[in-house]
């Protein structure tokens, strides 16, 4: 059973919501965030991205970088860009493109259930990234962006959400990501209780995106400097919960900086020991899990595994594992994709075009496109308490930050 609660969100005035709402902190670089903040002083990246309001690179953010984020949050509130709800509410958050729509419930969910494994994970966190988020939450005294959760779809919950969306929305705007973001307010106590009761019948949920946010919130909860007693704001995690059957996972592809001392012909020969290599007439993604497409030089190739997928366990049969064990490690010498600076990751709708440009410009040497994993595979891996290979899932659309803030204190000063 999922323990969700309403909360007094700090959120933008409708007139400025489109200007305040920003990409998540972890999908923009520091230099990109600094440029966005200069061009749009209302961007929530000035709160969400550590150092967005400071000059230059910040490989090791100083303490005052986090204090700047806190001061910016207070300034947004003081200027009336943000306001706080008078009572605890829930929200429905829809993201829609021309071909896809997903409807999530914005709520706070018990961090005790994170510790107990009811909120299930599929990814290891990196210590430095977790520490940055932990320091950010602690200094700002708020969870400034939601964790993206998936739950097993329920017709009953779908019907509840559908009725809410028949009302007038609080926000409805087309963002720079060409996604229409819409939000509906749920402030009726009986309706909130009905939604809570429905989620009480859901046994577990899954982190789709936001492992570092969740781990950091749990770490802040365990630190000593927090109010005592049950029901503290520190005991809950800001989240958006989506039914699993509405979600789409896009490919998370790989580019490599060099060919490990090989020329292009030698690389193709080495790969040909395990794969059927054929030239492609045009750019395309892989058609199945045991195929990769590769951009090398100025053309695309299909790499079809000679042995086929066969009988493999949950992890070794995944495309990211197959690529790592068959090509990246033995041929290109990339032992640990988490730490090797010679490999980068490109995800999302336009990733093939982006990778092609990277190779043509000479910034990278070769690109590999992977078949995406399914939400069912993610749930199976999480249920088994296993971890997916790094950079395996790219969920799109991304949740915008700045539309909902969960304060760890009752109110801002």
pLDDT tens by residue, 87-142: 999 999 999 999 999 999 999 999 999 999 999 999 888 888 899 999 999 999 99
* 188 Rama class: left (phi>0) / alpha (psi -120 to 50) / beta: beta
Secondary structure (3-state) at 294: strand
What's residue 114's pLDDT? 96
Angle at 348 between CA 344 and CA 354, to 5 degrees: 60
Q: Which range is least confidently modeled, 153-162, 219-228, 262-271, 324-333?
A: 219-228
pLDDT at 231: 59
Cα distance between residue 297 and residue 410, in whole Å: 58
Q: Are 379 and 149 in contact (CB under 8 A)?
A: no
**CB of 122 within 8 A of CB of 46?**
no
Note the pTM of the prediction, 2 decimals. Answer: 0.92
Note the pLDDT of residue 411: 86
Render pLDDT for 59-83 as a digit per residue (tens, 0 to 9).
667 778 899 999 999 999 999 999 9
Closest Cα partner for 326 from 370, 359, 387? 370
Q: What pLDDT is recorded for position 225?
A: 59
Beta bridge partners, 339, equal none
């Amino acid at each position: 059973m999922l323990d969700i609660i309403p909360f007094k969100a700090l959120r933008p005035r409708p007139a400025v919501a489109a200007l305040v709402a920003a990409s998540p902190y972890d999908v923009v670089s520091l230099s990109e965030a600094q440029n966005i903040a200069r061009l749009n002083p209302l961007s929530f990246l000035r709160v969400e991205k550590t150092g967005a309001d400071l000059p230059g690179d910040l490989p090791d953010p100083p303490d005052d970088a986090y204090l700047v984020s806190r001061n910016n949050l207070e300034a947004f509130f003081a200027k009336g860009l943000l306001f706080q709800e008078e009572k605890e509410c829930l929200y429905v958050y829809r993201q829609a493109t021309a071909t896809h729509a997903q409807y999530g419930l914005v709520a706070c969910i018990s961090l005790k259930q994170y510790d107990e494994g009811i909120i299930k994970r599929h990814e290891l966190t990196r210590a430095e990234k977790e520490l940055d988020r932990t320091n950010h939450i602690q200094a700002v005294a708020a969870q400034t962006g939601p964790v993206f959760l998936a739950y097993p779809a329920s017709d009953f919950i779908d019907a509840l959400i559908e009725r809410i969306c028949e009302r007038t929305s609080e926000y409805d705007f087309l963002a720079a990501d060409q996604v229409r973001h819409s939000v509906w307010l749920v402030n009726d106590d009986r309706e909130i209780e009905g939604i809570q009761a429905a989620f009480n019948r859901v046994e577990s949920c899954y982190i789709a995106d936001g492992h570092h946010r969740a781990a950091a919130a749990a770490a802040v909860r365990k630190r000593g400097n927090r109010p005592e007693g049950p029901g503290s704001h520190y005991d809950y995690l800001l989240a958006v919960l989506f039914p699993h059957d509405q979600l789409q996972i896009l490919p998370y592809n790989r580019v490599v900086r060099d060919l490990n001392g090989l020329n292009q012909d030698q690389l193709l020969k080495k790969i040909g020991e395990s794969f059927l290599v054929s030239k492609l007439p045009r750019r395309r993604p892989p058609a199945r899990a045991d195929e990769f497409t590769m951009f090398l030089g100025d053309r695309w190739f299909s790499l079809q595994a000679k042995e086929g997928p066969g009988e493999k366990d949950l992890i070794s049969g995944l495309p990211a594992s197959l690529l790592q064990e068959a090509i990246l490690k033995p041929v290109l010498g990339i032992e640990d994709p988490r730490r090797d600076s010679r490999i980068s990751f490109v995800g999302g709708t336009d990733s093939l075009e982006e990778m092609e440009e990277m190779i043509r410009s000479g910034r990278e040497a070769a690109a590999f496109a992977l078949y995406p994993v399914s939400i069912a595979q993610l749930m199976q891996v999480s249920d088994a308490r296993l971890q997916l290979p790094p950079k395996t899932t790219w969920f799109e659309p991304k949740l915008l930050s700045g539309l909902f803030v969960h304060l760890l204190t009752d109110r801002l000063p």
